[in-house]
Each structure stands twice: as structure tokens, then as C-alpha cells.
Structure 1
Amino acid sequence: MSINQQIDLEKQPEGKIRHRFTLIDGLRGIAALAVAGYHFYLGSPLHEPLSKVIPTPFGLLLSYGWLGVEVFFVISGFVIAYSLRESEITLAFLGNFALRRILRLSPPYWITIALALFIKGVSNLVLSDRIAALPSSSVVLAHIVYLQNVLNMDNIVPVFWTLCLEIQFYFVFIILISIDQRLSKKKSNLSSFFSPLLFFVLFLGSLILRTTSQESIQSFLYPYWYMFFMGSLTWWVLEKKIHTTFYWLYIAIMIVPLVHHWDIRILATLITGLSIYLASLGNQLDHWLDNRWQQYLGKISYSFYLVHIPIGMSLINVGYRLSGGSSVMALIWFFLAFLVSIAAAHFIYQFVEKPSLKLSQKFKFDTSSI
């Protein structure tokens, strides 16, 4: 959704009752709050005064809020695998898929780009002691088509890199599914062996690259592939497309690096995927996190994720200038940043994201269940 996309998870075939998996939406809301908490705490000037009043365990929890990104990636893998479960991938379907993703995801993203540029421009006019360089037209254009990271350009809003990876994943995944479908039609021993091997090699290579690379690679999908794929595997085992034994084999392979090379990103990926799997086994996928506020936060999570930095961080920066290093005021600004960001996200959801979703549904491919 991206990181947060709001796809209707239809449990019934076309024409039947549609409803959402509450655990998926609840996890989206929690992940978005976690990422915002990390930025508002560790990535803001409030960190030092906040650390004096926030209990150490809570501060530690906020420090790992960036793991919400891993949660988003696993959810995206699950949702796309679920959405494509009955779809035959053709060129027409691929074109329709691309159109619907653009209509669904881009308007809130483009609005956030414009909002961030507007805030930077106003800041430059008001604060003469710090002038932020505005991005060039080529940078803005690259953002519009999700290519800024591939072109090694700075993100206008730091979280935008994750959207670029989401877009890459959607199209790489759907192409791989298309290859799998065509090989399956041949019904030969080679074709039945090739697809599982291809997915396994991609998974293993991604896991190795992620655990051995010391650099933060944010331009390309591959180091993050195993996170998305964990979500897809989870749907496939629930759908009985793959045997449970193979699912646990993948789990075991992911545990090995945790023993020899501790990586909390892998742990977060495992916990997210297994939570969805275990919830489904207990028929709790539409019951866990079924709280009104959790579902509301899940609903606006995409918009919140997009705007929490241009809105929330801007408020924090203004607040810090006004109140300095006061711990009490820092705590007030911290919570205000959440409230104002939620309000802005609600507005964008109602007037941009929700209409975009409805528009994308008008172009629904006849044989698609997305």
C-alpha cells in the first residue's frame, strides 16, 4: 500500500460479501504509528529533552519503531499474493494492474510531495537563518514516477524510498507469477521444478545480501525481497498452494542467520508473517485487532505514513524553536505531532485517498479479484 495500500481483502468470490482482514489493517495502523514514533523521538530535536521524561523501556521501543517498515513489506507481499490468487496474468491484465495501482497509490503520494514542497518554501520565507534547498524539477519529476532512488536522488520526504520499493515489488512479483503460470501450463517435470527453484534462489540470495551487506541499500528491491516474499509465502501456505513443510523450511532458513548474525529485521519479518499465519489457523484473521481505533488507524495508515514527516516533524521543529529544551513542552509537542498528523491523514484519506480508491475500482479487470 503500500506500505500501506488499502486493498479490499475479499474472502468470497466475485459478487459475494466483501470484508477486510482486521489483523492486516490493525498491523498497518500499528506499523505506521511505530515509524512515526521513531521519527518523532530519535529523528527530531526533541530526542534529548524527551529522553529525560520518557521511561527507558518506552524509549527503547520508540527507537525500534523503524521496524514498522518491515511489517509493511510483509503485509504487502501477503496482500498482493492474496489479490492475485485467481488472476490469470496477461498483457491486458498487467496494463490494468498498473493503471489501478497508479490511480490508487499516486494521488495521496503526489499531494504529499506538493505539501512537502509548500512547507519547505514557507519555511525558507519565515526562517531566514536556515534555508532548505528546494529540489529541482528533474528531482520532482523522478519522484512523480517513483524513480528517485533508482536515479540516486535524495527523497523529498525520507519515507518515500519505501514506496519506490513497493512499486518495484508489485511488478517484479506479477511478472514472476506470469512466468510461473505459463510454465505450469506446460506440465513438464522441468517446468514444475523451475518455478519453485527460481523463487527459492531469489529468496535465499536476498536473505544473504541483506545479512552480509553493511550498507543501507534503499534503491533496489532485492535486499528486501525476502520480507515481501515472507508475506506471499504465508498466503500461499494458507491457500494450500505450497505444502506446510516448505513453509517451515523457509522459516528455518530465516532463523539460521539469527543464530550466526543477529538481525532484528529478520526477526520482525518472521514475527509478522507467523502472526498472520497463526491467526489464520485459529480463525482469528478477521478478529485480532478488531478494535474501532485500531481499524481506523489502519484505514488512514497510508496517508498517515506519507504526511507524518512533513506535518508532524514540521510542528516539532516549530515547537522546539518556541520552547527550547523543556522536557515537559517536548512531551506536549511529541503528542501534538501525532494528533495533528492523524488529523491531516484523515483529511487526505477522506478527500484524496478514498476517492482514488473508488476511481481505481471502476477499472477493475473482469477476471481479477484485486
Structure 2
Amino acid sequence: MNVPSNSLFILALRALAALIIVAHHFALYAPLRDWAAPLAGDVLDFLARHARATQVFFVVGGFVAARTIGNRLWSFRQLGRFAVQRYCRLGLPYLAVVAIVIPIYAFARGWVPDDVLGSPVNLLQLLAHVFFLQDILGYEPLSAGLWFVCINFQLSLAYALILAGERRFGRGDGRWFLRLGWCAAAFSLFHFNLNPEWEAWGLYFFPYFFMGVLVHHAVQHGERRHFLAYQALLLLAICFEWRWRVVVAMVFATMLFVVEYAGLGQRWPRSRWLAALGRISFSLFLVHFPVLVLVGAVCARMGWSSPQAALAALVAAFALSLAAAAVFHRWVEAPATRLSRRFRPSLAPARPAGAERSTRLAFEN
């Protein structure tokens, strides 16, 4: 999803979430993490356990989707074009990362543990990645974070499919999706989301996406009761079985609601650095793991395995990840976004433009 420069809070959320995810992966994967442990083991252990923020991207994704495709009239014949658009937007950068990691893994093989690199790539595994099916079919992922693209693709298509069904069989006012969303979210929170074996399916992550949709409805249409009732449902789910990831989603969704409802999203926080990082956050999410593997392999080959050298290497890998993300965004993600616009379905507004609050942002999904 692309967020324009005036959506400052959305950009800041994306930037913060990306940084947390990078910190989590840097604290999780060998060999640099193991070598740096004598100096920063407690900090790395904390980040490995608690630095989880992928849910923030799903909340923001639901919020933006509700403001874009959720405010349009859909038909089933437009779904194919939408699928192509989403594949260009998400899949082309994803495939570029797959192409990048293969030579990096070949360089790192024997120097970085196999449980980080996985088995050597085979053709069926590669084909499964092309069609976003690697997790469903049980193939090893080629890079950390690729699963997110697959789930994002599932959720966006499912949302568009439900909206098309709503127009065909319902009243086209969004109520059908809300009722179905409540049922799906409750089923996921108390069953699907409790079993990690279902992580290959969008329904496992649907509660976070649906939360973003409810934030939009609360802000734009004054339906705060749905948002508050859903927060109560999430609290009940946490009491039923504790999940840190649900708490993270609740906290950031509440922040998003408060800021957007107050009309501050367009003007706060005013930080050029956060805004720039927010724009390249998807690229950073994709490229930081290959950079980490490459830096770890170089250090292993050079024999730089002291705690001091490993900690310096983690800092260097972070800086290189930011630089690589900026390059990747300019030469891969941005062209993929421009290409995806050619396949954007032509959709009529579901309601008059003046029916929404004057603080509406011009989001582009």
C-alpha cells in the first residue's frame, strides 16, 4: 500500500513497525546474534521475545483498505484485474528479493548455520514461492518476511471478494462484511489464532486486519461502538489465552483511532526521517534479512567472531539494510507500484464523496 506524504501518522506507524521487526530478526538469527550475546545477550533475548510488530502492518492494511476498496462498488468480474494489480504491487518486489537471496545463500552456505539458510533451493520450492504457496504446501521459506506478502495478498483478495458478494447479494452498504467479519474474527481469536499450524492462512491474521477496518468505520462513520465492542472481544480472547501479538495489535489500533479521530493524522508527527522511513518500510521489511545473512557470512569468512566485532556488525547490517531499502524502493518497489496502477479496477464510489468527514485522507492501496 502506498501512503501519501500527508498521512504522517500512518507513515510513522509503518516506520516504527518496520524497525521493531528488523530488531526482532537481528536478535533472533545466528551467527551474529550468538557472537554478540556475551555483550548484549539480555537485550537481544528481550527483542527476540517481545519485538513483534507485524500485526501493526495488518491493522494499517485493514484501515487503508477500508478507505479505498471498502468505499467502492465491486463486481465479481473486477476481481481478476484486482488480483493482477495486487500481484504487481506485492509480488514483483517479493520475487526480486527471492532472486537476491539465492546468490547470497550460495555465498553464505557453510558459514551461516543451515537452520538460518534452510536447504538448497529446488525448482518446486521456487515455483511455490512464485504463486505464494510455499507455506501452504510446506516448503521452506526463502527469506524471513515473505510469508507476510502471501497473507497480505490473501486478505486483500478476500476483502474484495466479500465486497463483490455484498453488492451482488446484499445492500452494498458494508453491513454484510461487518457481520461476516465479526464471525470470522471471533472464530479466529478463539480457535484458528491459537494454533501456529494455521499461520499459512489469512484467517489466522484476520483479527488484526478487521481491527483496522473497524478503526476506519469508527473514525469516518462514527461507529465507535463496533470498535469498542471489538476491543472488549480482544480482551476476552487474551484472558482466554494470553497472546502478546494481540496486545500489540490492540495498542497500535487504539493509537491509530485516537490520532485519526482527533484529526491529527495529517500533521503529526512532523518528522522527515520517520516519513522517509515509512515510505520505504515495505522495502526494509523485505531486504533486511538478506543483508543480515550477507554481513554474517562476511564476518564468518573473515573470522570476525568476537562479541565486539559481532555487535559492530549488527549495527553495520542495520545501516546497510536502510541503504539497501532506499535503493530497493527506488528501483524495484516504486516501478512495481507504477505498473500495478495500470491494472487498477475502475470502481464507482459506494457513497457520495461528501458523506465522509472533511479530514478524509487520499489513500492509495
Indicate the SS of the match to 1:42: coil
| Cross-structure match for 1:72 | 57
Q: CA deviation at 1:158?
A: 2.6
Counterparts of 1:297 and 1:251, CA distance in 2: 29
Q: What TM-score do the two structures reach when normalised by structure 1?
A: 0.85
After superposition, residues 126-141 of structure 1 pair within 5 angstroms as 133-141=119-127
RMSD between aligned residues: 2.7
Is residue 120 from structure 1 mapped to residue 105 from structure 2 by the alignment?
yes
SS in 1 for 2:191: helix
Cα 1:111–1:180 shift into 2, 3 Å: same
The 2-side partners of 1:169 and 1:322 are apart by 44
Q: Deviations over 1:243-294 (max 9, x none)?
A: 2112211110101122342211110110121111000122111233331111
Which residue does 1:164 correspond to in 2?
150
Q: Which residue of 2 aligns with 1:16?
A: none
Partner of 1:12: none
Other-structure match for 1:13: none
Partner SS state of residue 135, structure 2: coil
How far apart in 1 are the matches of 2:277 and 2:76?
Answer: 36
Q: How far apart are 1:107 and its partner, in Å?
A: 1.9
Q: What is the SS of the residue equivalent to 1:290?
A: coil
How many Å separate the matches in 2 of 1:186 and 1:244?
A: 21
Quick check: 2:66–2:216 contact (8 Å CA) kept in 1?
yes
Q: 1:281 aligns with which of 251, 257, 261?
A: 261
Match of 2:210 in 1: 229
Q: Specify the alignment match of 2:351 in structure 1.
A: none
Match of 1:319 among 293, 299, 308: 299
Partner letter of residue 250 of structure 1? Y
Q: How far did 1:89 drift?
A: 0.8
Deviation at 1:211, TM superposition (A): 5.4
Change (3 A) 1:231 1:61: farther
Is residue 181 from structure 1 mapped to residue 167 from structure 2 by the alignment? Answer: yes
The residue that corresponds to 2:26 in the other structure is: 40
Could you say which residue in structure 2 is the equivalent of 1:88?
73
Aligned-partner Cα distance in 1 for 2:291–2:161: 37
2:218 corresponds to which letter in structure 1?
V
The one-letter code of the counterpart of 1:30 is: L
Give the CA deviation at 1:311: 1.5
Name the structure 1 match of 2:198.
217
Structure 2 residue 220 is matched with structure 1 residue 239: yes
**Number of equivalenced pairs:** 348
Deviation readout 1:276-331 (Å, 9 max, x if unpaired): 10001221112333311111111111111111111222212432453454222121
In structure 1, distance between residues paired with 2:205 and 2:324: 30
Q: Is the 8 A contact 1:210 1:224 kept in 2?
A: no
Whole-angstrom distance in 1 between the partners of 2:155 and 2:311: 38
Match of 2:248 among 234, 247, 268: 268
Q: Name the CA shift for 1:358/1:281 in 2 (closer, same or farther; >3 Å).
A: same
| Alignment check: 8 A CA contact 2:74 2:160 kept | yes
Q: Which deviates more from structure 2 when the two are superposed, residues 31-40 or residues 359-368?
A: 359-368
Within 2, Cα distance between the matches of 1:252 and 1:129? 44
Q: Is the 8 A contact 1:40 1:313 kept in 2?
A: no
Instruction: State the one-letter code of the partner of 2:295.
Output: L
Q: TM-score, normalised by structure 2?
A: 0.86
Q: Which runs of 5+ in 2 are unaligned?
A: 349-363
SS at match of 2:315: helix
